[in-house]
Amino acid sequence: MEQADQIRFPKWLLVTLGVVGGLGAAFAFMVYVANGMVVGDLIGLPGREPEIEVAQHRSGIGLLSCVLLQFGVAGALFSYMDRENGYVYRVLWAMFVSLAVTLACCVALVLALKAVR
């Protein structure tokens, strides 16, 4: 396949996708944690087994969504880097920056929720 046949995305689009994916991953992680707290509160209460199962299911979906979106953020940031850098360096850089972006988005979401409340 020739170089001219490849699709090129603008760099601003890759950064935007990374930030939006980071927001989604942060929200999914917050869903995971919140449903884990619900399960912890409901365990031991009689007659609450169906609610525990639903909360555990939602928690698992939140964690899966967080992981998949985190891979999307890392992929967008991996594509953002220049091809001249080493492959291992690009992968490690994309993973580190994707975690930083998701953490920053999580802090922003928490502060926004506190401001609204």
pLDDT, one tens digit per residue, over 25-63 is: 999 999 999 999 999 999 988 888 899 999 999 999 999
Give the list of residues 6+ apart from residue 55 with CB closer than 8 angstroms, or none: 35, 38, 39, 42
How many Cα neighbours within 13 Å face the side chain of 72? Answer: 18
Determine the pLDDT at residue 84.
Answer: 73
pLDDT range class, residue 75, cuts 50, 70, 90: confident
Per-residue tokens: 11 = 């760099």
Closest C-alpha among 81, 66, 57, 86 to residue 24: 66
Q: Are 73 and 46 in contact (CB under 8 A)?
A: no
CA 94, CA 32: separation in Å to the nearest integer?
A: 24
- Mean pLDDT value of segment 71-94: 81
pTM, rounded to two decimals: 0.80
Q: Are 21 and 76 in contact (CB under 8 A)?
A: yes
pLDDT range class, residue 111, cuts 50, 70, 90: very high
Per-residue tokens: 27 = 């929200």
Per-residue tokens: 80 = 């953002």
